[in-house]
Structure 1
Amino acid sequence: MAKITVAYIPYNTDVGFLRIKQQYIDIDHWRTAFFIHVYASMWVLFAGFTQFSSWLLKNKPRLHRALGYIYVADVLLITGPAGLIMGFYANGGLWSRVAFVLLAILWMFFTALALIKAKQKKFKAHRNYMIRSYALTLSALTLRAWKYAITNTMALPPMDVYRVVAWVGWVGNLAVAEWMIFRQKKISLHKKRDFDNMFKTPL
């Protein structure tokens, strides 16, 4: 991601992804949203990653909270809205646009709920929504990974590839996130059941 971001500095409009978006480059709000999204992406990836560090939570709780607020502010005020604007101009027609708009909405929705649950001190729910939120953050990486895998294994037209990765790039991540949450709940239930059984066993 760092390599991709650097390619657009300083404010290059004829490199990488922008080469296939020249029809939109003169639209002020799209161009602004694109560069905001690109420049802020590294921060949101890093800040979100730190939120799953048990060591940081235990030993540096203030830093954990500070980075959490940076992540939430970045998603809700910067990269999320920018991604939503970009979604309406996505390549691949309506199918792709729906995918990216829905991605941006869910990303902001899960992030907002993570913040709300933290404020309510419902930390299990907070963690679950953070898992969902960060799974969608990682779509920045998985979308590119899927694109690379598909273009190197199938002979599909470029726009068809884009329509596919527009969905699998984040739906797959969200499915994995839900599996992780379900698995953790199952483990917690088993531990609780085993603990309760300790007191039910006759001496």
Structure 2
Amino acid sequence: MTWLRKPWVGPLAFVVVAFVAFSLPPYLTGDRLQSRVQSDWGPHYPLLVVHVVCASIAIITCVVQIWPWFRGRFPMWHRRIGRVYVLAGVLPSGLAGLVIGWMTPFGPVAMVSNVLLAVLWLTFTLLAWRAARQRRFGDHRKWMIRSFVLTISIITNRIWGAIAFVLLADSVPEAELPNTIAGIATWTGWTIPLLASQWWLERKPRRRAPAERREALTQVG
């Protein structure tokens, strides 16, 4: 089966589902005290709920969207789920993320990273949407890869945060530790994967171009 040639699909789907299953439930209760990010700013919690819920939609639908077997076998559903990814996922989550990123309680370093991440996430996704509508499927694929990388950056953010905690817990004053870890994790969580994806896009062998053309023709049909 052709989908078996993409061994990353299964592990990625497992990680995403496990992450959503762990992260989402506290924000479905309506209880501010269960939020993993606390803020004294009144609108912060409802915007955070919108951000988390819609980001969960984005991250789940995005895994389906980048699955080559699904794209090739069900092009109509690929387009429909793509609309869900943009309109019910990235767009509301990114707009809410702009505001809560600006009002983050973790200091100016994390604030700049969060706002820039939200702007790029929205921009890459809308560029991918426009390219698809204009039947520029090669450009659509590249912008979607960049959008996907930023979508899953919340997972890599947690990994870098854990690493930063292990390395800095004994050397940074306790009062400064949360902001320090947040500043490191928020920046490394999305910049490193984005740079890696850009390198991959530029280094991709030319021999795969015919396969991309066949996929584009399938989607047009």
TM range (shorter): 0.7 to 0.9
Check whether the contact 2:58–2:88 (CA below 8 A) recurs between aligned residues: yes
TM-aligned CA deviation for residue 31 of structure 1? 2.2
Q: 2:93 aligns with which of 68, 79, 86?
A: 79
TM-aligned CA deviation for residue 190 of structure 1? 9.3
Provide the residue aligned with 1:127 in structure 2. 141
Provide the residue aligned with 2:36 in structure 1. 17
Residue identity matched to 2:206: S
C-alpha separation between the residues in 2 aligned to 1:34 and 1:52?
26
Identity rate, percent: 29
TM-aligned CA deviation for residue 53 of structure 1? 1.5
| 2:168 partner SS | coil
TM-aligned CA deviation for residue 191 of structure 1? 7.7
Alignment of 1:23-34 (within 5 A): 23-24=40-41, 27-28=42-43, 30-34=44-48
| 1:8 partner SS | helix
TM-aligned CA deviation for residue 158 of structure 1? 2.1
C-alpha separation between the residues in 1 aligned to 2:195 and 2:39?
34
Q: Check if 1:70 corresponds to 2:90.
A: no
Unaligned runs of at least 5 residues, structure 1? 193-203
Check whether the contact 1:2–1:42 (CA below 8 A) recurs between aligned residues: no
Q: 2:201 aligns with which of 141, 159, 181?
A: 181
C-alpha separation between the residues in 1 aligned to 2:140 and 2:69?
18
C-alpha separation between the residues in 2 aligned to 1:56 and 1:76?
21
TM-aligned CA deviation for residue 38 of structure 1? 1.4
1:139-161 C-alpha deviation (Å, 9 max, x unpaired): 11111111112212332422111
Unaligned runs of at least 5 residues, structure 2? 1-19, 211-221
C-alpha separation between the residues in 2 aligned to 1:7 and 1:38?
10
Provide the residue aligned with 1:110 in structure 2. 124
Residue identity matched to 2:183: R
Larger Rg: 1
Provide the residue aligned with 1:4 in structure 2. 23
TM-aligned CA deviation for residue 75 of structure 1? 4.2
Q: 2:63 aligns with which of 49, 71, 86?
A: 49
Q: 1:168 aligns with which of 188, 195, 216?
A: 188
Q: 2:54 aligns with which of 37, 40, 44?
A: 40
Provide the residue aligned with 2:16 in structure 1. none
TM-aligned CA deviation for residue 66 of structure 1? 0.7
Check whether the contact 1:75–1:108 (CA below 8 A) recurs between aligned residues: no
TM-score (norm 2): 0.78
TM-aligned CA deviation for residue 103 of structure 1? 0.3
Cα RMSD after superposing both structures: 1.8
Between 1 and 2, higher relative CO (CA 8 Å, sep ≥ 6) is seen in: 2
C-alpha separation between the residues in 2 aligned to 1:61 and 1:170?
29
Residue identity matched to 1:23: D
| 1:91 partner SS | coil
Provide the residue aligned with 1:95 in structure 2. 109
* Stretch moving more, 69-78 or 129-138: 69-78
1:29-83 C-alpha deviation (Å, 9 max, x unpaired): x222101111222211111111111211111111111111111113453111011
